[in-house]
Amino acid sequence: MKYATVKVKGLDVFYRESGAVSRPTFLLLHGFPTASHLFRNLIPMLESHFHVIAPDLIGFGQSAAPNHQDFDYTFANLTDYVDGFLAALQIKQFYLYVFDYGAPIGFNLAVKAPNRILGIVSQNGNVYRSGLGPKWAERQAYWAHPTAALRNQYQAAFAPATIKGQYLGGEQPGSVAPDGYSLDIFYTQAPDYAERQSDLIFDYQNNVSNYPKYQQYLRTYQPELIAAWGKNDPSFIYPGAQAFKRDDSNAEVHLLDGGHFVLESHWQTIGKLILDKWGQR
């Protein structure tokens, strides 16, 4: 495993890298509230078959986190930085693993340049309204009528108990190590963390608006896709996984007995799904 940073438009992007660069690249995109350490168990499974790279998004983990007043914390801008990261590493084609916030970023990349995408794994990475759990109705009300009070209210999403609950919810007792959520909670203590994450919560409405664009990409290009979904996730509910099959005849859906962070408990299962499908190419 290699740990490094690269400059993208003047900002440091931290990333994990493993596997020979001569092999097909697998780009792993994390979501909220985590960073590339999410993939600490999966990368060793993939590194013998792929060139694996997992960046920390700007504002997350070990990457640069400029003040929210000086940086546009939107998913379109985060996509531009991931695109710049790929250019800096001279990566032209790749398999794509998306989770949570990584889904709109990854699908933005796919829509922009479909020929770059070799295949997709969506692990609780939603692109369908049918995959939005009950909490999203409240957030849509916030998006329609934003107030400072509601913005402050949604900062509860960054509370330690909430983060721990995201990891443990829907999982069997004792199946999830404390490593991931403990590090995520540590990162919430960084200056300006709540403000930049609040900007992204508000901007998420643009991802929902883009869902039809992502679905059109699936219908047009029919990428090979694995939807490996924690079926007990209350945030991105499992009908969002099943919906892939409506638009993509090359999609396969696997509903796993876990929650939002099902990779924490089922990384071996998900890794095997990947290797069985693409590992021998």
DSSP 8-state class, residue 172:
-
Distance CA 163, CA 100 (A): 14
Q: In the annotation, is 145 catalytic?
A: no
Can you give the pLDDT at residue 106?
98
Task: Determine the structural domain holding residue 138 and report its residue range.
Answer: 2-278
Nearest CA-CA partner of 116 in 149, 92, 83: 92
pLDDT of residue 1: 95
CA distances from 256 to 76, 171, 241, 266 (A): 30, 10, 11, 8
pLDDT score, position 46:
98
pLDDT of residue 198: 97
Is 119 within 8 Å of 96 (Cβ atoms)?
yes
Question: Quick one: pLDDT at residue 10?
Answer: 98
Q: Which of 30, 37, 68, 260 is catalytic?
A: 260
Distance CA 184, CA 1 (A): 21
CATH number, domain at 192?
Answer: 3.40.50.1820
Q: Which pLDDT score is estimated for 280?
A: 83
pLDDT at 233: 98
**pLDDT value of residue 281:** 73
Q: What is the pLDDT along the chain (281 residues), one digit of tens a residue?
A: 999 999 999 999 999 999 999 999 999 999 999 999 999 999 999 999 999 999 999 999 999 999 999 999 999 999 999 999 999 999 999 999 999 999 999 999 999 999 999 999 999 999 999 999 998 999 999 999 999 999 999 998 899 999 999 999 999 999 999 999 999 999 999 999 999 999 999 999 999 999 999 999 999 999 999 999 999 999 999 999 999 999 999 999 999 999 999 999 999 999 999 999 999 87
Domains contained in the chain, number: 1
